[in-house]
Amino acid sequence: MAKKLAAITGVHGYVPDFVLSNALLEEMVDTTDEWITTRTGIKERRIQKGEGLATSDMGVEAVKGLLEKTGTSLDEVDMVICGTVTGDMAFPDTANIICDKIGIRNAFSFDVNAACSGFLFALTTAAKFVESGTHKKVIVVGADKMSSIIDYTDRTTCVIFGDGAGAVLLEPSEDGYGIQDSILKSNGEGRHYLHQKGGGSLNPASKKSLDEKMHYIYQNGRPVFKAAVSSMSSVVMELIEKHNLTKEDIKWLVPHQANIRIIETVAKMADFPMERVMVNIQKYGNTTAATLPLCLWDYESKMEKGDNIILTAFGGGFTWGATLIKWSI
């Protein structure tokens, strides 16, 4: 019997309506559309506005659309994993809250915190449950309300990040389609360059943590840029070589959307033409765990069943990795 794989059988996404353009940012901090466009490739990003709304609400929209699109009933879903660094609260997990808000009662659910690699880490974890045969309809969500941890007086971070959510359905496949392999890595030394120090057990919320702005994201951009380029390009090449493929065998490269210059450099280092690289950073910015499923959602109509695609991500931790998928829709 053919090996059981986990196939993506549906993809959906959600971004909030409010558009934070570069022109609006020019009014908020000392920046220009020209700087943001040339240094990052971002023209606008979406921001979740509204009292009482959080990451789970974006996840709910993505998952509801996914269930409708795939004709999946609430009772059939047996597992939900959410990649996020901006969960609604410290605990319980946002995946629990998404399930409750939608009415998914037969699933066990939890979050994966791997920053911008959260979706990739969650997808690989979910795939193992499907491959083992214990779970048959697993939803993987990548969702982040980055605006909740951004200091809108810090021009080095506020121009980069946006809010959004994406979700995929994984089901067993025995015809060779689905997730073929993942190479995932992490290095905790990277924590010094990209982190949110406040709110955990090291620096619980206090007057000091507020005064020192510890609840905002901190990034030292240049070392992160360098590590992102070298880590993503090397892991993509490792995966291609491991499977005896050439770049011609890969239809789409789906990179984390952190900076167009990172995306272009990774593509160049992997000798991959930009026409086959998914890019939507210009309209959403960096949505952390949501970038990969939002790319799949945007490019869904351009992909064909049987296409080999490689997802790659890099983020806080540092965390990074690449996943090879034979597209199954």
By CB under 6 A, name the binding residues for ligand UT7: 31, 35-36, 39-40, 116, 155-156, 159-160, 221-222, 224-225, 228, 258-259, 262, 286, 314-315
Catalytic residue among 256, 259, 280, 295: 256
In the complex with ligand UT7, the residue whose CB is nearer, 35 or 299, is: 35
Q: Could you give the CA distance from residue 172 to residue 170 in angstroms, rounded to a whole number?
A: 7
For residues 156 and 282, which CB has a smaller minimum distance to ligand UT7 in the complex?
156
Label the pairing between strands 194-195 and 178-186: unpaired
Strands 308-315, 319-326: pairing is antiparallel
CA distance 278 to 267: 11
In the complex, minimum distance from the CB of residue 116 to ligand UT7, in angstroms, rounded to a whole number: 4
Cis previous bond, 16, omega within 30: no
CA 270-275-279 angle, to 5 degrees, is 85
**Closest CB 281 distance from ligand UT7, rounded Å:** 10
CB of 47 closer than 8 Å to CB of 285: no
Q: Which of 12, 22, 99, 116 is catalytic?
A: 116
Q: Which is nearer to ligand UT7, 41 or 172 (CB)?
A: 41
**By C-beta, is 70 or 286 nearer to ligand UT7?**
286
**Active site includes 203?**
no
Q: State in angstroms the smallest separation of the CB of 257 from ligand UT7.
A: 8
Nearer to ligand UT7, 29 or 329 (CB): 29
Beta carbon nearer to ligand UT7, 228 or 303: 228
Q: Where are the beta strands (DSSP E) in the chain?
A: 5-14, 18-21, 44-47, 79-83, 108-112, 138-145, 163-173, 178-186, 194-195, 218-219, 252-255, 308-315, 319-326
Shortest Cβ 159–ligand UT7 spacing (Å): 4
Q: Produce one character per residue of 283-318: b if its CB has 16 or more CB atoms within 10 Å, e if not.
A: bbbbbbbbbbbbbbbbbeeebeeebbbbbbbbbbbb
Question: With the C-alpha atoms ordered 136, 3, 142, 315, is the resulting torsion angle positive or negative?
Answer: positive
Q: How far is the CB of 63 from ligand UT7 (least distance, A)?
A: 23
Q: CB of residue 27 vs ligand UT7: minimum separation in angstroms? A: 13
The SS3 call for residue 121 is helix
Phi, psi of 155 (to 5 degrees): -70, -20
286 included as an active-site residue: yes
Which active-site residues does the annotation give? 116, 256, 286
